[in-house]
Amino acid sequence: MLVIHTTRELQRLADSERAAGLRLALVPTMGALHAGHVSLVRAARSRADRVWVSIFVNPAQFNDPKDLEEYPCVLERDLEACRAAGVDVVFAPEAAEMYPAESQTWVDVTDLTRPLCGADRPGHFRGVTTIVSKLFLAAKPHYAVFGEKDFQQLAVIRRMVRDLGFDVEVVGAPIVREPDGVALSSRNVNLDPEARRQALVLVRALDACELAIEAGERGAAALLHLARNEIGKAPRACIDYVELRDPDTLAPAPDALEAPTLLALAVCFAPVEAGDGTTVRLIDNRVLNAYPQD
């Protein structure tokens, strides 16, 4: 496995691989790799001759400096995970490589970034789209694979690719869950045992709404109440948002659902005592098959 640290070197390799007729797939990550990332590697391998993984904790997408400081950085462990998964190339640049001194250029998708995670995180998605653009220009992939757990991010990147004409196919890979149903996330390691137990309310809220849809419920207000009620069973859960949205445009869902609809959740779990530990924000989602009833 080759480890590359500079954009120029990665571009030269991409040119060489493309000239040889090889198909390239990129899996962008911020490290702290887990089984969910490995599933992205598998999805990439099913489409391409070469699988490349980028590992870069992108400072531009963090609103809270403390959150950036506490984000797990375990590069050597991540490299071992990439080797075990059969990754061909890892791109692991320094911050100065991706953001040279006095950088002034940003990529910004407007409407899709306003709701959900963008509502209270100004600049977050601008950081995401800017770094993904830089990665696409560095790696020149035919495919780029992202997890559907970050549903809004996936929608934003697809919009960016369409708008700017990037010659890359964006692939969404299904959410990978732990045995109890909690979505895999690099942030799960920051949950204390009790918060980890309470984190089950996210998937339980999704399950409850899916069962309600299967039973014939189509009222948006009733479904949102059901989800909030389920999350409220966790004493330390603080809802950031519980929303029903169009899966393509992320526009608010109508009062009565009549098409597949995204149920998106973001929930924060505070430490047992203020100042003792970190607040962990988890997201999850599911597209509810709310087709019109006969």
Q: For 106-146, what is each residue's pLDDT tens digit?
A: 999 999 999 999 999 999 999 999 999 999 999 999 999 99
User: Per-residue confidence at 262, pLDDT binned at 50, 70, 90?
Assistant: very high
- Please state the rounded mean pLDDT for residues 192-199: 97
- Report the mean per-residue pLDDT for the chain: 96
User: Residue 117, Cα to own-chain centre: how many angstroms?
Assistant: 11
CA distance 123 to 61: 7
Set out the domains of the chain in order of their start, with CATH numbers: 2-173 (3.40.50.620), 186-287 (3.30.1300.10)
> Which pLDDT score is estimated for 272?
78
Report residue 23's pLDDT band, with 50, 70 and 90 as the boundaries: very high
Check residue 66 and give its pLDDT: 82
How would residue 278 be classed by pLDDT, with cut points 50, 70 and 90? confident
What per-residue string of b and e applies to 38-74 under the rule 16 or more CB within 10 Å gives b?
bbbbebbbeebebbbbbbbbbebbbeeeeeeebbeee
Active site residue 142: no
Greater model confidence, 272 or 178? 178
Q: What is the pLDDT of residue 10?
A: 98
Mean pLDDT, residues 176-188 taken together? 95
| Residue 276, pLDDT score | 61
> Can you spell out the DSSP letters for 62-118?
-SSHHHHHHS---HHHHHHHHHHHT-SEEE---HHHHS-TT--------GGGSSGGG
Of 285 and 190, the structure prediction assigns the larger pLDDT to 285
**pLDDT-based confidence at 275, cuts 50/70/90?**
low
Percent of the chain with pLDDT over 90: 90
The pLDDT, as a whole number, for residue 168 is: 98
pLDDT value, residue 82: 98
> Which residue in the list 5, 37, 124, 225 is annotated as catalytic?
37
The residue ranges of DSSP E strands in the chain, in sequence order, are 2-4, 24-29, 50-55, 89-91, 143-147, 169-173, 237-245, 261-269, 280-288
Percent of the chain whose pLDDT exceeds 70: 98
Flag whether pLDDT at 225 surpasses 90: yes
Q: Is the pLDDT of residue 165 over 90?
A: yes
Is the pLDDT score of 70 beyond 70?
A: yes
